[in-house]
Amino acid sequence: MAAPQILTSIHGKLFGIGPKGELIVNSTQGSLVSAQATVNSVVRLTIANALVLALNATPFEMVPAPGVGKTLVCNRVVASKAAGTAFAAGAGEDLAIIPTGGAAFCAIDSAGFLDSTADEIRFADRVPLNPETLDLTALQNLALEATILSGEIITGDSDLIVEVHYQIFDDLLS
């Protein structure tokens, strides 16, 4: 195994990137600890209006599945829409980031956002079912998708710009 490349030092800890792209922390005592996740990544994509109107039936892939033995976790989402015709969003028709076929990691209430005629920007952190734990086993090798949680939005003419902040975790058992 190649030695990690130390990139910077903060408060007595040396940080670098290991041979597999993992974060390496080397303390002043010389112990080496490899983090189980890569550094936070960000993707920003535009979801065209026609696709927004069909997001419940056809989720939009934001981040492709990472491959066998890896898990994507969405930490936060920022979404914006330009002024235009308000989307006719009903109760529960909220924008969410989900693992393929799964429950929402992050959700943005449509009220005051999708149903507004003005420029709007929203931010949401991960929705923890249990803030202490997250079952990564059930989420292995699944893509992150944007969807509308219940029902389809009927009208509206704005594209959505969605920024997803995520991490990729390696399966520590393989």
**47 and 65 fall within a common domain:** yes
1 pLDDT above the threshold of 60: no
**27 and 57 fall within a common domain:** no
**66 and 151 fall within a common domain:** yes
**151 and 68 fall within a common domain:** yes
Domain that includes residue 124, residue range? 41-170
Segment holding 148, helix H or strand E? strand 144-148
**118 and 155 fall within a common domain:** yes
Q: What's the pTM value of the predicted model, to 2 decimals?
A: 0.74
State the total domains in the chain: 2
79 pLDDT above the threshold of 80: yes
What proportion of the chain, given as a percentage, has pLDDT over 90? 39
Segment holding 121, helix H or strand E? strand 120-125
Residue 12 has a pLDDT of: 56
Question: How high does pLDDT run on average in the chain?
Answer: 80
**12 and 45 fall within a common domain:** no
**137 and 77 fall within a common domain:** yes
28 pLDDT above the threshold of 70: no
